[in-house]
Structure 1
Amino acid sequence: MTPAAPASSPATEIHALRPAVTRDDALRTFGGGLMGTARSLALGPLRSIADLYVPLDVFRVRVTRGARRETELLGIDRVTGALDLYRFDDEPGGDAVVTVTTRNAIGRALPDAIVRDRLQTRVARMLFQRSGFFGVRAGAIAIEARVAELYVPYWVGFFGRGDEARIVVIDAVRRRVEGPKARRLVYRWLMESR
């Protein structure tokens, strides 16, 4: 099985979060066991697998609620700003980050101001879900410094019969199959890279 990188993409050296899912792990997830059999019946056989890297910016975010102040390190994707946020205990670095040379790195599409705005909105939504309307006040959320620009590794499985192709996406750090937001992001990148 060969990766499906766009032929025109030059190889780029990037810094990515260390994957917890190897290629063999991804192959087992895509095609093994009861879920793999069900997936093959529904989508067609697994044709190929490819690694893919999505840009992620990590920000220090300060949340003030009354006298209580919390600081969190949150990562947001730089393509749509819609994928699930990453939460870090410490600034990512050292053994948590690897250098990779790849043709499958998606470019940073969103301007910095939009990324910060989307992160602010997403944090406000999280606070609202936790504590209701009065949990979020004006000025309660401050997007402070960007502490890292990294990539998140994903595995993309290509399934199908004949000319039909469908994909399944695995977050290689969180070890989970992703939903429609990640699939749309990958489809869009593949179409734009042709």
Structure 2
Amino acid sequence: MAGRRERIAIRRIAVFSATGKLFQFASSSMNQIIDRYNSHSKILKKANEPSQLDLHEDSNCARLRDELAEASLWLQQMRGEELQSLNVQQLQALEKSLESGLGSVLKTKSQKIMDQISELERKRVQLIEENARLKEQASKMEMQVAADSPVVYEEGQSSESVTNTSYPRPPLDTEDSSDTSLWLGLPLYNSK
């Protein structure tokens, strides 16, 4: 069969006599077998020993672990926890750091409030302009309605009486009525 490796059986025997004399028998060279054993032992020994890379990674991990512990302690101290181990100078440095941070927070907060005030002022101006535009449109519509209906002015008549004559209000029903209407100064059309 192609691609299949056949195993060759190698027999090895090493015998030491009572006097310590070595007798050996091998179907191949005994020196080659011992050399292979020694090289294999060296490979296994190197595999079990930590390499320089492993030592470097371990030192990096230890350094990062220390940095994390230090940063965690600093964060707790910034929250006002774990302060017992600090001396007066360290507490003053922490206080200065907190004051500096608080100043930055207050400055940023003030800027955001001013931005919101500016935005609200801009919206107020837009609403005033929109209100003026709508008043102008309403005035134009009122003038157009007044121009479309003939109004007879009598001498001495006020503009309010002319408007009331031109657009009479519906009679007020003093009895219990469910029909409530709002008078806008426009002619009332009754569809009944």
TM range (shorter): under 0.3
Select the structure that is richer in strand. Answer: 1
Structure possessing the higher radius of gyration over alpha carbons: 2
Of structures 1 and 2, the one scoring higher in RCO (CA 8 A, sep 6+) is 1
The TM-score normalised by the length of structure 2 is 0.13
The TM-score normalised by the length of structure 1 is 0.13
